[in-house]
Amino acid sequence: MAVISMPVSRNEAKIAVRVYPNAARNEVVGFVGELLQVRVSAPPVKGKANEELITFLSKVLVVSKGRIGIIKGHTARNKVIAIDGLSQEDTMKRLLSC
């Protein structure tokens, strides 16, 4: 059930993410279709995995944490993430280069 990545504007990207909490380390696994798979070391308790995901993606994408938000899926493994200040194309390039 992948969500199609559709930009809202030229400077905002949306990506569908599948999060795997309690991993040994934070890493981008890769894409399966339109779904980005990400492992985070934090447990899925009290939003810790969500916080870790945003922190990790901010480092990978080189944007501030305030520019990344969870639009859908706050309590689920499948999420839709919005990145303000990056185009869809730039976001994909940065994710694929890590």
- CATH number where 45 lies: 3.30.1200.10
Residue numbers of the domain that contains 44: 15-96
This prediction's pTM: 0.87
Q: List, in order, residues 6 or more apart from 31 with CB less than 8 Å away.
A: 37, 95, 96
CA dihedral 6, 11, 13, 19 (to 10 degrees): -170
Look at the chain and report how many structural domains it folds into: 1
Is 8 inside any structural domain? no
Is 76 inside any structural domain? yes
Report the candidate in 90, 66, 72, 69 with the shortest Cα–Cα distance to residue 11: 90
Is 3 inside any structural domain? no
Is 49 inside any structural domain? yes
pLDDT at 21: 98
Amino acid letter for position 61: L
Q: State the number of CA atoms in the 13 A half-sphere of 7 facing the CB.
A: 14
Q: Which band of pLDDT confidence, cut at 50, 70 and 90, is reported for residue 72?
A: very high
Is 41 inside any structural domain? yes
89 vs 6 pLDDT, higher one: 89
